[in-house]
Structure formats: structure tokens, C-alpha cells
Structure 1
Amino acid sequence: MKTRVTEIFGIRFPIIQGGLAYLACAELAAAVSNAGGLGQITAATLGTPDRLRAEIRKVRTMTDQPFGVNFAIAKHDNGGKYQALLEVAIEEKVPVISLTGANPQPVFERIKGEDIRTLVLVAGVRQAQKAEALGADAIMAVGQEGGGHLGRDDIGTMVLIPRVVDSVSIPVLASGGIGDGRGLLAAFSLGAEGIEMGTRFIATQECIHANEKYKQAILQAKETDTVVIKRTLGSPGRVLKNDFAMNIIEREEEGATYEELRDVISGEANLEYIYDGNLAGGFGWAGQVIGLINSIPSVQELFNEMITTAEAGLSRIETIMGNRTYS
């Protein structure tokens, strides 16, 4: 497959693995990159510069293909922890940096002149245009179907992608509700030049840090089995539906403040679910695409299936379009 995304990032297929807090490790990133996509490791949840440096070097022992480091920028980060991690990525000459969360401008200012490609996750036209103005190489636009943190406007992928594509000149990757070759082909039809997937990569063999109970919960769930928490805090995120998540929503509806909710929306509560497999004592990020996930393949098997399915879908479209008649 050849798009501007494959050319810019030096990959065979325009498929990007999401940042996946606490889960995007060297094993998963290397597997995705080896399969022809762009794998990523997550910086923020590694915690320290030394751990990030070790993970970057570990990826390089497992693949000679391009990979990325994801930075989830906190709104109130004073620059200390986050800046130290960024310095490691620069020193290690990582090929790609992806940015999610708050204002990415300080990152662009710091890496100016460095040989680093950039991706920015957005959820709306205005954010996309700002990312382009800052110098992003490509944009990942996530619809409200996605897992993890989302935009505040509940715009679905089907509408969001053409809107963003029409608003910028740099390539756009579609994200949110995509988990197979049909989604890949649909993204191309909407004007995107690739896709980003998060939830689908959790349910793979190389996502070694995800507890088996978490993976099984994804397999057993339907597309209706997710809810959005933290709406009232201005940072909505989609999670698997359980009593723990519903309790968060109920407390939000009762007017609970961030401080009152801190413990139940913390990284520790997330880890309780995804690492320890305590499905009643925490929450796990997941998108509506869970309704399409029914296996835990290797990353290579997933890529093979996606490409085969996309090719079959393209043949079907060609047949339909080839049989049209005109009056």
C-alpha cells in the first residue's frame, strides 16, 4: 500500500498502533513495526527517563523498522517529568513522536531541527488545523467510537474524517471504531491515508502486559458494552462497562469534583483492571470496536487478515461500481 503516510514514516502499511497507556511496550511495538505498520511505546506511563531509554533500546533489539514514542501531554504538566522524557526520545533519535492530550506546541518548539517525524491525535477540525500550523507531518483524527480519551463533541468517525481531510493539506489517519480490513478500506473511502488502532491491538498475543481477563472481557463484550466516563471533568474517555465505571458516572451526575473522583479515575484504578485482572475493582479503556473482536491473534496474523479482508472488500466495491448503469 502506498500513501503519503507510508512514504513519510517509511512503513509498508499505513496502520499505526495507538499509544495505549501502560500497555504499549517494546514487544507490541516491535511486532507491529515488523508486520509493516508503525508500532509505538508509551512514554508517560513508563514514568522515568531511564525506563523510557531502556524500552527504546529494547525495541531496537527486536526490530530494524521505524517505530514511534507516544507522549500523552497532561493539561497541568509543568514541563518537568514530560520534558525529561522528551529529551530521552531526542537523545535516542527516535524516528517518530506522536502527541495526544493538551497543547503540543512546546514539543514542536523543542524538536525543531531534529530529524523526527510527528503525529498528532485530534478530535476536531480546529485541533487539526492547529496541528498542521505547528508543523505536524500527519494527523490522527479519532471519532467518538474510540476507546480511551476522546473529543468533547461526540462526532462519529464517519463524519469526522471527511471534515478533517477537507480542512488540512497534510495526511489524515482515521481512528475510532476500526479493527479490521473493512475499517481500513472505509477509512480510505472517507479520504484518510491510513488508520490508527488501539483497542484491537490490546487483544493480540504481543500485548503482553494486558491481563488475560482484560483481553477476554474485550472478546466477550458487544459494541453496546462501553460507557464514557469523566465527561463532567472535560476529558471524556470510553471504557468497558462495569459497576465500577457506572459508579463513576453516577458520582459525576451527582456533581462530584475532580478531587472527589481522583482515586477512582486514577492510573492505579486503571492498572487494577488491565494488569491485575480485577474486573470489579477498576476500569479498562476500550472502544465500540469490541463488537468486532472475537480472537487474540498474533500481530502478523492480524495484519494478514486485515489486508486479505480489505482486498476482498475492494473487489466487491469494484464489482458494484462496474455494474452501474446510466440512463
Structure 2
Amino acid sequence: MKTRVTEIFGIKYPIVQGGLAYLAYAELAAAVSNAGGLGQITAATLGTPEKLREEIRKVRTLTNHPFGVNFAIAKHDNGGNYQELLEVAIEEKVPAISLTGGNPQPVFDRIKGENIRTLVLVAGVRQAKKAEELGADAVMAVGQEGGGHLGRDDIGTMVLIPRVVDSVSIPVLASGGIGDGRGLLAGLSLGAEGIEMGTRFIATKECIQANEKYKQAIVHANETDTVIIKKTLGAPGRVLKSDFTLSIIKREQEGATYEDLKDVISGNANLNYIYNGNDVEGYGWAGQVIGLIKNIPTVQELFDGMVTTAEKGLSRLDSIIGEQASR
């Protein structure tokens, strides 16, 4: 597969693994990169420059392919300062970085002249145009089906992707509701030049940080088993439905403030579930794509299946369109 995304980032397949707070570390990132995609490690939840440097070097012992470092620049749960973490990424000469949340301009100002490729996660046309203006190599446009933090406008992937594609000249990756080869082919059909996936990569063998209970919940849930929390706080995020997350929504509806909710929406509450399997005092991010996830493969098996499915889908479309064209 050759698109501008594969050319810019030096990868075989235009598939990027999401930042996945607390989960996107060396083993997963290397597995994705070895399979032909762009794996990433998450900087924010590592917290300290020393830990990030260690993780970057660990990735390099596991793969000789390009990888990225994700910076969730709006928030650092472990108290880390993203500028300090960014300096480590620059010093270690990472091939790529991705930026989610917050204003990316200071990052672009700092890395100007450095040989680092850049991706920016966006949820609308305005953000995509701003990212292009700042010099982003590509944008990842996430529809409201996605897991984790989302845009505030509830725009679905099917509409968002062509809107963003029509609005910028840099490559666009489709994100939100994508977890197999059909989603890959659909994203390319909508004008994107690649895809980003988050939830699908949690349910893989190499996502070793994720508790088995979390993975099994993703596999056995269906597309109606997610809800959005923090909407009243202006920071909507899609999570697995549970008594815990439904209680958060109820409190929001009753007028709870951030201060009222900060303990139950914190990174620690997230860790309670994704690391320890405690769904009474914690939650896990997940997108609607859980309805399509039925197994826990290796990353290589996942990629092989996606490519095969995409090829079959393309053949099907060729036969449909070819038959119509010959009439």
C-alpha cells in the first residue's frame, strides 16, 4: 500500500496506532512498527523525562522500523511537563511525534529544523486547517464513534473524513470506529490516506499493560456498550458502559462540577480498571468499534487479517463497479 502517509513516515501500511494513555509502551509500539504500521509510545503517562528516554530506547531494541511518541499536551496525569518530555524526544531523535489536545503551536515552534515528522489529532475542519498552517505532516481526524477524548460537535467519521480531506492539502488519516480491513478500505475510499486505531490495539497480545478483564470486556461487548462521560465539562470521552461510568453521567446531569468529579474521572480511576480490573472504582476508554472486535490476536495477525480483508473488499468493489461500467 502506497500513500503519502506511507512515504512520509517510512512505513509499509498506512496504519497508525493511537497514543493510548497508560497502555502504549514499547512492546505494543514495536509490534505495530514491525508489522508495517507506525507504533507509538505515550509520553504523558510515563511522566518523567527519564522514563520516556528509557522507553524510547527500549523500543529501539525491539524494532528497527519507524515509530512515534504521542504527546497529550493538554494534560499530564503523572505531573510531567510536556516541554521536558519533548526535549527527550528531540535528543533521542525520534522519527515522529503525534499531538493530541491543547494548542500544538509551541511544539511546532520548538521542533522547527528538527528532522521529526508530525501528526496532529483533530475533530473538525478548523483544527485541521490550523494544524496544516503550523506545518503538520498529516492530521488524524477522529469521528464521534472513537474511544477516549473526542470533539465536542458529535460529527461521525463518515462525514468528518471527507470534510477534512476537502479542507486541507496535507494527508488525512481516518480515525473513529475503525478496527478491521473494512474500516481501512472505507477510510481510503473517503479520501483518507491512512487510518489511526486505538481501541482495536488494546485487544492484542502485545498490549501487555491492559488487564485481561479489560480486554475481555472489549471482546464481549457490542457497539451499544459505550457511553460518553465529561460532556458537561467540555471534554467528552467515550468509555465502556458500567455502573461506575453511568453514575458519573448521572452526577453530571445533576450539575456536578469538575471539582465534584475529579476523583472519579482521574487517571487513577482509569488505572483502577485498565490495570487492576476494578470496575467498581474505575473505567476504561473504548470506542463503538468494540462491536466488531471478537478476538485478541497478535499485532501481526491483526495486520495480516486487515490486509486480506481489505483486498477482498477491494475485489468486491471492483467487480461491482466493473460490472456496472461494462453495461
Both structures adopt the same fold (TM-score exceeding 0.5): yes
**Aligned equivalents of 1:266 and 1:131: distance in 2?**
28
Asked whether the 8 Å contact 1:214–1:279 carries over to 2, the reply is no
Task: Write out per-residue CA displacement over residues 27-59 of structure 1, whole angstroms, 9 at most, x where no aligned residue.
Answer: 000000000000000000001000000000000
Misfit runs of 4+, over 4 Å: none
Could you tell me which residue of structure 1 aligns to residue 264 of structure 2? 264
**Aligned equivalents of 1:311 and 1:21: distance in 2?**
32
**Aligned equivalents of 1:126 and 1:162: distance in 2?**
14
**Aligned equivalents of 1:281 and 1:243: distance in 2?**
10
Shift of 1:76: 9.7
Task: Write out per-residue CA displacement over residues 181-212 of structure 1, whole angstroms, 9 at most, x where no aligned residue.
Answer: 00000001000000000000000000000000
Shift of 1:80: 7.1
**Aligned equivalents of 1:261 and 1:274: distance in 2?**
19
**Aligned equivalents of 1:147 and 1:325: distance in 2?**
39
Could you tell me which residue of structure 2 aligns to residue 248 of structure 1? 248
Task: Write out per-residue CA displacement over residues 66-89 of structure 1, whole angstroms, 9 at most, x where no aligned residue.
Answer: 000000011699x97111101100
Could you tell me which residue of structure 2 aligns to residue 59 of structure 1? 59
Shift of 1:279: 2.0
Q: Percent identity?
A: 82
Could you tell me which residue of structure 1 aligns to residue 284 of structure 2? 284
Task: Report 1:183-202 matches (<5 A).
Answer: 183-202=183-202
Asked whether the 8 Å contact 1:214–1:284 carries over to 2, the reply is yes
**Aligned equivalents of 1:212 and 1:75: distance in 2?**
27
Structure 1 residues 320 and 242, CA, compared in 2 at 3 Å: closer, same or farther? same
5+ residue gaps, structure 2, are none
Partner SS for 1:83: helix
Task: Report 1:1-327 matches (<5 A).
Answer: 1-74=1-74, 81-324=81-324
**Aligned equivalents of 1:202 and 1:280: distance in 2?**
21
Q: What amino acid does structure 2 have at the position aligned with 1:267?
A: G
Shift of 1:326: 8.0
Structure 1 residues 36 and 326, CA, compared in 2 at 3 Å: closer, same or farther? closer
Asked whether the 8 Å contact 2:203–2:295 carries over to 1, the reply is yes
**Aligned equivalents of 1:114 and 1:158: distance in 2?**
35
Partner SS for 2:304: helix
Partner SS for 1:169: coil
Partner SS for 2:120: strand
Asked whether the 8 Å contact 1:143–1:177 carries over to 2, the reply is yes
Task: Write out per-residue CA displacement over residues 225-267 of structure 1, whole angstroms, 9 at most, x where no aligned residue.
Answer: 0000000111100000001100110111111110110000000
Asked whether the 8 Å contact 1:67–1:96 carries over to 2, the reply is yes
Task: Write out per-residue CA displacement over residues 97-146 of structure 1, whole angstroms, 9 at most, x where no aligned residue.
Answer: 00000110000000001000000000000000000000000000000000
**Aligned equivalents of 2:268 and 2:279: distance in 1?**
13
**Aligned equivalents of 1:244 and 1:259: distance in 2?**
17
**Aligned equivalents of 2:144 and 2:31: distance in 1?**
27
Q: What amino acid does structure 1 have at the position aligned with 2:307?
A: I
Instruction: State the TM-score, normalizing by the size of structure 2.
Output: 0.98
How many residues matched? Answer: 326
**Aligned equivalents of 1:86 and 1:75: distance in 2?**
14
5+ residue gaps, structure 1, are none
**Aligned equivalents of 2:211 and 2:279: distance in 1?**
10
Asked whether the 8 Å contact 1:68–1:98 carries over to 2, the reply is yes
Shift of 1:325: 5.4
**Aligned equivalents of 2:155 and 2:298: distance in 1?**
32
Shift of 1:280: 2.3
Asked whether the 8 Å contact 2:137–2:170 carries over to 1, the reply is yes
Structure 1 residues 323 and 219, CA, compared in 2 at 3 Å: closer, same or farther? same
Q: What amino acid does structure 2 have at the position aligned with 1:4?
A: R
**Aligned equivalents of 2:48 and 2:136: distance in 1?**
26
Q: What amino acid does structure 1 have at the position aligned with 2:27?
A: E
**Aligned equivalents of 1:56 and 1:89: distance in 2?**
8
Structure 1 residues 55 and 76, CA, compared in 2 at 3 Å: closer, same or farther? closer
Asked whether the 8 Å contact 2:44–2:75 carries over to 1, the reply is no
Pairwise CA RMSD of aligned residues? 1.4
